[in-house]
Structure 1
Amino acid sequence: MSGSTSFWQRHQRRIAPWFFLAPGAFMFAVYVILPIFQSMWISLYDWDGIGEKTFIGIANYVELFDDDAFYTSLKNNVIWLVLYMLAVPAGLFVALFLNQTVFGIRLVKSLFFFPFVLSQVVVGLVFAWFYDPSFGLLAQVFEAFGLKPIAVLADEDYVTYGIIAAGLWPQIAYCMILYLTGLNNISPEQIEAGRLDGAKGLRMLWHVVLPQLRPATFIAVVVTVIGALRSFDLVSIMTDGGPYGSSRVLAYYMYEQALSEYGFRMGYGAAIAVVLFAIMMVYITLFLVRMFSEERGAR
């Protein structure tokens, strides 16, 4: 008994954190890690989700890379990824603007924060009404300038950009919150040292402020990338993948194939999910490698 007690006393600092981490690690393994491997396994089968599975190897992936709808979804995801990254600098700009001590700034902050607390369903409906060519606000703006209204959500050339604009509204608010938190934790000593060295304006921002905002930037980029690649709800609410499948993204196409009345092809849907996961991991890994290399160079 005394031996076990002495062992606990010797290793308490090392062992105790694992007791706190264990429940979260268990849930993460069961609900995140395990489903990833299950998806990889299911992608090797032809399965409707109910009957017997038939092993077909990589046939789902071979079919996938000959599927025009897959390439349309992949192209739209790339557009989402590129344009969604605008949320990071936009969120930083708004945070810098709101990081002031002036009368009424709290009310202004709450107005900028408001989109983040809205459900994506509400955001989708609001923008669907905004884009409506009959009574929407955008149509009224066009008519005020003597222009013909554009049916954004019914035009194959504009629909993806219209949905992305709807998604950027709450995403910019989220990045703004991250940067506001980071700005509140900036060392005033470094700011004062920068001023003594003659840094101000953009030089102060680039050389003093942004290096201290790297943790916030890391979280903002990772969350924005994940949000862009897993985009589903806005597509489902605003267009249901239309018109003619032109606004599909990989997550929505996966749902169509695996779970909707058009498919019930669980194996094919799992193959799409695996490809989406691979793209996400490659992008995040490249960003992590770049960030760590910059930190090593700074040291």
Structure 2
Amino acid sequence: MADIQRLSGNRLRRDTDFFRKNKLVIMPLVFIAPAFAMFSLFVIYPIIQSIALSFTEWQGIGPKKWVGLDNYRLLFGDPVFWTSLVNNIYWLVLFLLAPVLGLFVALFLNQNVFGIRLVKSLFFFPFVVSQIVVGLIFAWFYDPAFGLLATMLEPLGIKIPAILANEDWATFGIIIAGLWPQTAYCMILYLTGLNSVNPEMVEAARLDGAKGWQLLVKIVLPQLRAATFIALVVTVIGALRSFDLVAVMTEGGPYNSSNVLAYYMYDNAIFRYRMGYASAIATILFLIMDVYIAWFLMRLLKNEKGAS
């Protein structure tokens, strides 16, 4: 009996010593485990399931039929897919105006004058409004008969076309609608960043003769590097996953001219019952975003190593 107790005591001491030596590794794993389990169940597993589904033909019910790479062959020969991809590139390029516009709005609002809080709240308003509401507002704004834009231009003798019904202009009309709330979000990031700008450095630069554009580029912008980085990351991801405004304003029309990858995926899955084909579109979009996320993580790690 004493030998058993001695062996148990030795094992307990070994376990305790092992925990003490490795607690800096074990405890983070213990805290991360529940979140990682949920992340695996609701994110990683559906991604793997979606990629696997892209190699099948399935209508949402019944058995799945293995087709291999057929969905991808059809996809790369689909003109609507290429139109959607090009539109996503338009979104990506033009959405990069949001950080620039957000910076200049933030610089304008970063003043201690009477009533500036009210003005800030007005500029903040688009960010808190749902994307659905933004889409409905701009659909009315572009209306050539009763919209605000037509009402303002009519006295000047300017007749605007039906922007959302025009194959050449629909995509750009939707992007402008998306820039409204995205600029407001970037403005908030820059306003937060401007609060951490060192006023002593600004005053010293002014004493040395720096002003205007030179002061902004040489002194202020380097201190807003973190805010700029986050604004670019959020803006690019928002451009790649654009869906809400397209669904509300044009549903991908006219003639699929304003389609984007996210909406084309949704259209094939929900309305055409082509789950495998929709999964192939989702996989391509996922790979595109993976490239950007990998670049983002590399930059983040590089910045952290530089800071340390």
Query: Deviation per CA, 1:31-50, whole angstroms, max 9, x where unpaired?
Result: 22222222211111111121
How far apart, CA to CA, are the structure 2 residues paired with 1:293 and 1:8? 32
1:108 aligns with 2:119: yes
TM-score, with structure 1 as normaliser? 0.90
Pick the aligned partner of 1:184 from 177, 195, 199: 195
Pick the aligned partner of 1:259 from 237, 245, 270: 270
Task: Label 1:23 to 1:217 Cα distance change in 2 as closer, same or farther (>3 A).
Answer: farther
Cα deviation for residue 3 of structure 1 reads 5.1
Kindly indicate whether the alpha-carbon contact (under 8 Å) linking 1:225 and 1:280 is maintained by their aligned counterparts in 2. Answer: no
Which residue pairs with 1:269 in the alignment? Answer: 278
Task: Label 1:53 to 1:176 Cα distance change in 2 as closer, same or farther (>3 A).
Answer: same
Letter of the aligned partner of 1:258 in structure 2? A
Pick the aligned partner of 1:129 from 127, 134, 140: 140
Which residue pairs with 1:48 in the alignment? Answer: 59
Pick the aligned partner of 1:94 from 76, 87, 105: 105
Task: Label 1:196 to 1:291 Cα distance change in 2 as closer, same or farther (>3 A).
Answer: farther
Task: Label 1:178 to 1:289 Cα distance change in 2 as closer, same or farther (>3 A).
Answer: same
1:227 aligns with 2:238: yes
Which residue pairs with 2:185 in the alignment? Answer: 174
Task: Label 1:259 to 1:274 Cα distance change in 2 as closer, same or farther (>3 A).
Answer: same
How far apart, CA to CA, are the structure 2 residues paired with 1:73 and 1:176? 29
Task: Label 1:185 to 1:244 Cα distance change in 2 as closer, same or farther (>3 A).
Answer: same
TM-score, with structure 2 as normaliser? 0.87
Query: Deviation per CA, 1:207-251, whole angstroms, max 9, x where unpaired?
Result: 222222222222211111111111111111111111111111111
Query: Deviation per CA, 1:7-56, whole angstroms, max 9, x where unpaired?
Result: 55555555444444333333333322222222211111111121111111
Unaligned runs of 5+ in 2: 1-11
1:208 aligns with 2:219: yes
Pick the aligned partner of 1:36 from 37, 43, 47: 47
Cα deviation for residue 188 of structure 1 reads 3.5
Letter of the aligned partner of 2:265 in structure 1? M
Cα deviation for residue 274 of structure 1 reads 1.0
Query: Deviation per CA, 1:98-143, whole angstroms, max 9, x where unpaired?
Result: 1111111111111110000001111111111111111101111221
Pick the aligned partner of 2:175 from 135, 148, 164: 164
Task: Judge which range, 22-31 or 275-284, deviates more.
Answer: 22-31
Three-state SS of the structure 2 residue aligned to 1:259 is helix
Percent identity reads: 63
Query: Deviation per CA, 1:180-228, whole angstroms, max 9, x where unpaired?
Result: 1111122344434544554332223222222222222222111111111
Unaligned runs of 5+ in 1: none
Which residue pairs with 2:3 in the alignment? Answer: none
1:59 aligns with 2:70: yes
Letter of the aligned partner of 1:271 in structure 2? A
How far apart, CA to CA, are the structure 1 residues paired with 2:18 and 2:183? 51
Structure whose alpha-carbon radius of gyration is higher: 2
Alignment RMSD = 2.6
Task: Judge which range, 30-39 or 46-55, deviates more.
Answer: 30-39
Pick the aligned partner of 1:80 from 78, 91, 94: 91
Kindly indicate whether the alpha-carbon contact (under 8 Å) linking 1:76 and 1:249 is maintained by their aligned counterparts in 2. Answer: yes
Cα deviation for residue 85 of structure 1 reads 1.0
Task: Label 1:205 to 1:159 Cα distance change in 2 as closer, same or farther (>3 A).
Answer: same
Letter of the aligned partner of 2:282 in structure 1? A
Instruction: Count how many residue pairs are aligned between Structure 1 and Structure 2.
Output: 297
Task: Label 1:132 to 1:52 Cα distance change in 2 as closer, same or farther (>3 A).
Answer: same
How far apart, CA to CA, are the structure 1 residues paired with 2:172 and 2:202? 39
How far apart, CA to CA, are the structure 2 residues paired with 1:25 and 1:193? 48
Letter of the aligned partner of 2:56 in structure 1? Y
Kindly indicate whether the alpha-carbon contact (under 8 Å) linking 1:124 and 1:238 is maintained by their aligned counterparts in 2. Answer: yes
